[in-house]
């Protein structure tokens, strides 16, 4: 089942479950005679509101992520916590005064009844859907094309384990060796090439999952393999004896007693990701609107000091490799890069007097709020680089494409820890901080970075 189809089916089953639960609750509350109400409330409008409420909550907690080969028990546990907390919110928001005259049943009991009905329906519908999906996988429907990368003995051992559990959903289409030596077929499954051919193999075979099986003597090959896979939307899993190599980037995923380690499965919890985007929109819009008179004065100062446009635009590489133009207040002479792209120095003579002040206070970044508002950037994230430098860094740093998995940011962990880019070595140093941020993304860390940025702004520790 494709990703879009899975979400559509989930939305449909939740539509039926949530609305049916509300309908039964309405009958108990209004038609049972337990509550003597002076005026019968509406059915449809509250039903629509409640349905939209639950859909938003389910999206935020991650109940519409791909279930593919995940534990049904884990999903039910998440549903239990979500429905319980959601019902408590509804109780205090709208049900606490939901009483008529001659009340036989308290509002507390009513919300408990609604909680029980809703939990029963959504859990039953999800369990039924997942059972159907599991049966489809066992029957060979909806399997993900999978390759096994690694040494021949380990790869064959992993293959033998995988085929025992068809509900995992892996259709192994071939092996990829560590070198170009031909290792032949194994139980009808061919060897497709070597690690150096991974990019082509993943594209040609439409690979969705990559399973890595390495001997202890091949640990140094792991980063190379991960780097070659990072530019593709594939799941990455390894055999558990390599956990110590990627500690902090892995999560154990044990299904049907078969352990695999999922590498960097999700960067942020869905509710945190949603809230992060919401904060991006609110803060960027507020800064653009509230500070508008100041931005006009800054623009006027730039024009009075030097010729050229007030704003400076430059192409950068964003999330998933998509290109966009950064927008800043111009802080250099208008002809600063007539000879081509170059790194800016600490005492760069091309920087104007106004530009020095803007850079010290980070005010040259204010127009970037438009990119945050439009979704090209976030308040916090790795700094976006120019395409020419990205091409070079991808060759020099195997894990660099990992930076392109998230929206670039106006400020970030690398900016508050390592101040300036004067060379490719400086950028490589910053990449280490960026990767640390990506593997530890959270709202708490974002707030920490924003506070550190404000601290640097107040002390004038800009570029």
Q: Is residue 79 part of a domain?
A: yes
- Across the range 58-74, mean pLDDT stands at 76
Q: Is residue 115 part of a domain?
A: yes
Q: Is residue 286 part of a domain?
A: yes
pLDDT of residue 23 exceeding 90, the answer is yes
3-class DSSP state for residue 53?
Answer: helix
Token pair 């490719």: residue: 424
| Cα(398)–Cα(393) distance, integer angstroms | 8
Please give the tally of structural domains in the chain.
3
CB count in 10 Å sphere of residue 17: 22
| Cβ 330 vs Cβ 355: under 8 Å | yes
Size of the chain, expressed as the number of residues it contains: 463
Q: Average pLDDT over the chain, rounded to whole?
A: 81
Any residues with CB less than 8 A from the CB of 188 and at least 6 apart, and which?
none
Q: Could you say which DSSP state residue 190 is in?
A: P
**Is residue 299 located within the same domain as residue 430?**
yes
Residue 338: per-residue pLDDT: 56
Tokens describing residue 2: 């494709």
Strands 258-263 and 250-255: antiparallel
Q: Which of 308-312, 364-368, 377-381 has the lowest mean pLDDT?
A: 308-312
Residue 324: per-residue pLDDT: 94
Tokens describing residue 78: 């998440």
Residue 424: per-residue pLDDT: 65
Give 130: exposed, middle or buried? Use CB within 10 Å, 0-12, 13-18, 19+. Answer: middle
Tens of pLDDT along 114-164? 999 999 999 999 999 888 888 888 888 888 899 999 888 888 888 988 888
| Cα(378)–Cα(371) distance, integer angstroms | 8
- More confident site: 231 or 286: 286
* Domain boundary, last residue among 263, 280, 303: 263
Q: Is residue 280 part of a domain?
A: yes
pLDDT of residue 205 exceeding 60, the answer is yes
* Domain boundary, last residue among 206, 241, 263: 263
Residue 403: per-residue pLDDT: 83
Tokens describing residue 123: 């859990």
Q: Which residues pair with 178 in a beta bridge?
A: none
The dihedrals phi and psi of 153, each to the nearest 5 degrees, come to -60, -45
* Domain boundary, last residue among 240, 263, 286: 263
Token pair 């009075």: residue: 304
pLDDT of residue 103 exceeding 50, the answer is no
- Across the range 304-314, mean pLDDT stands at 84
**Is residue 89 located within the same domain as residue 57?**
yes
Residue 36: per-residue pLDDT: 60
**Is residue 238 located within the same domain as residue 295?**
no
Q: Is residue 463 part of a domain?
A: no
How many alpha carbons lie under 13 Å from residue 3 in its C-beta half-sphere? 6
Domain that holds residue 166: 144-263
- Across the range 353-372, mean pLDDT stands at 86
Q: Which residues pair with 36 in a beta bridge?
A: 101
Q: Is residue 375 part of a domain?
A: yes
**Is residue 323 located within the same domain as residue 454?**
yes
Tens of pLDDT along 154-180? 888 889 888 888 888 899 999 998 876
pLDDT of residue 244 exceeding 60, the answer is no
Give 175: exposed, middle or buried? Use CB within 10 Å, 0-12, 13-18, 19+. Answer: buried
**Is residue 303 located within the same domain as residue 421?**
yes
Tens of pLDDT along 384-429? 988 888 888 877 776 777 788 889 999 888 888 765 556 667 777 7
Residue 345: per-residue pLDDT: 53
- Across the range 65-85, mean pLDDT stands at 81
CATH number assigned to the domain comprising residue 152:
3.40.50.720
**Is residue 111 located within the same domain as residue 179?**
no
CA 263 to chain centre: 14
| Cα(130)–Cα(299) distance, integer angstroms | 57
Q: Which residues pair with 137 in a beta bridge?
A: none
- More confident site: 270 or 242: 270
pLDDT of residue 3 exceeding 50, the answer is yes
**Is residue 31 located within the same domain as residue 133?**
yes
Q: Is residue 178 part of a domain?
A: yes
**Is residue 150 located within the same domain as residue 123?**
no
Tokens describing residue 23: 């309908």
| Cα(130)–Cα(68) distance, integer angstroms | 9
pLDDT band for position 440 (50/70/90)?
A: confident
| Cα(190)–Cα(159) distance, integer angstroms | 12
**Is residue 133 located within the same domain as residue 148?**
no
CA angle, corner 97, sides to 95 and 101, nearest 5? 120
H or E element in which residue 314 lies: strand 311-317
CA 413 to chain centre: 17
| Cβ 221 vs Cβ 188: under 8 Å | no
Residue 259: per-residue pLDDT: 65
pLDDT band for position 243 (50/70/90)?
A: very low
**Is residue 93 located within the same domain as residue 215?**
no
Residue 174: per-residue pLDDT: 93
Q: Is residue 420 part of a domain?
A: yes
Residue 117: per-residue pLDDT: 95
Residue 460: per-residue pLDDT: 62
**Is residue 236 located within the same domain as residue 376?**
no
| Cβ 160 vs Cβ 209: under 8 Å | no
Residue 357: per-residue pLDDT: 83
Tens of pLDDT along 316-360? 999 988 999 999 888 877 655 555 555 555 556 677 888 788 877
**Is residue 159 located within the same domain as residue 133?**
no
């Amino acid at each position: 089942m494709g990703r879009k189809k899975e979400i559509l089916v989930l939305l449909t089953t939740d539509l039926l479950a949530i609305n049916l639960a509300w309908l039964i609750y309405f009958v108990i509350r209004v038609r049972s005679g337990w509550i003597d109400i002076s005026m019968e409330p509406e059915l449809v409008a509250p039903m629509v509101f409640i349905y939209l409420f639950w859909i938003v909550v389910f999206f935020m907690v991650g109940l519409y992520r791909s279930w593919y080969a995940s534990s049904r028990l884990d999903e039910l546990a998440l549903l239990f916590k979500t429905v319980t907390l959601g019902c408590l919110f509804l109780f205090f928001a709208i049900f606490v005064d939901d009483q008529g005259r001659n009340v036989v049943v308290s509002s507390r009991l009513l919300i408990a009844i609604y909680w029980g009905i809703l939990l029963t329906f959504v859990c039953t519908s999800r369990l039924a859907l997942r059972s159907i999906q599991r049966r489809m996988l066992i029957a060979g429907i909806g399997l993900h094309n999978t390759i096994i990368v690694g040494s021949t003995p380990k790869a064959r051992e992993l293959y033998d384990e995988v085929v025992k559990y068809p509900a995992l959903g892996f259709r192994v289409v071939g092996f990829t060796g560590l070198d170009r030596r031909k290792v032949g077929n194994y139980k009808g499954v061919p060897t497709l090439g070597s690690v150096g051919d991974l990019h082509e193999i993943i594209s040609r075979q439409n690979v969705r999952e990559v399973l890595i099986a390495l001997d202890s003597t091949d640990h140094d090959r792991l980063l190379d393999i991960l780097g070659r896979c990072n530019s593709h939307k594939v799941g990455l899993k390894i055999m558990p004896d390599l956990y110590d190599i990627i500690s902090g980037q892995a999560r154990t995923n044990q299904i049907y007693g078969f352990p695999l380690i999922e590498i960097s499965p999700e960067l942020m919890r869905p509710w945190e990701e949603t809230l992060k985007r919401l904060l991006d929109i609110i803060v960027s819009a507020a800064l653009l609107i509230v500070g508008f008179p100041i931005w006009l004065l800054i623009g006027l100062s730039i024009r009075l000091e030097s010729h050229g446009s007030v704003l400076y635009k430059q192409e950068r590489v964003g999330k998933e490799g998509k290109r966009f133009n950064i927008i800043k207040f111009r802080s250099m002479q208008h002809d600063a890069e007539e000879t081509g792209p170059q790194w800016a120095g600490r005492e760069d003579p091309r920087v104007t007097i106004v530009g020095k002040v803007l850079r010290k206070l980070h005010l040259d970044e204010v127009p970037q709020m438009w990119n945050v508002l439009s979704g090209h950037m976030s308040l916090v994230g790795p700094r976006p680089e120019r395409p020419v430098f990205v091409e070079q860094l991808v060759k020099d740093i195997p894990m660099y494409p990992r930076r392109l998995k998230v929206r670039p940011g106006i400020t970030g962990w690398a900016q508050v820890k390592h101040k300036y880019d004067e060379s490719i070595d400086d950028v490589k140093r910053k990449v280490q901080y960026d990767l640390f941020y990506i593997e530890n993304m959270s709202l708490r860390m974002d707030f920490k970075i924003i506070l550190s940025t404000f601290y640097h702004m107040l002390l004038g520790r800009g570029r």
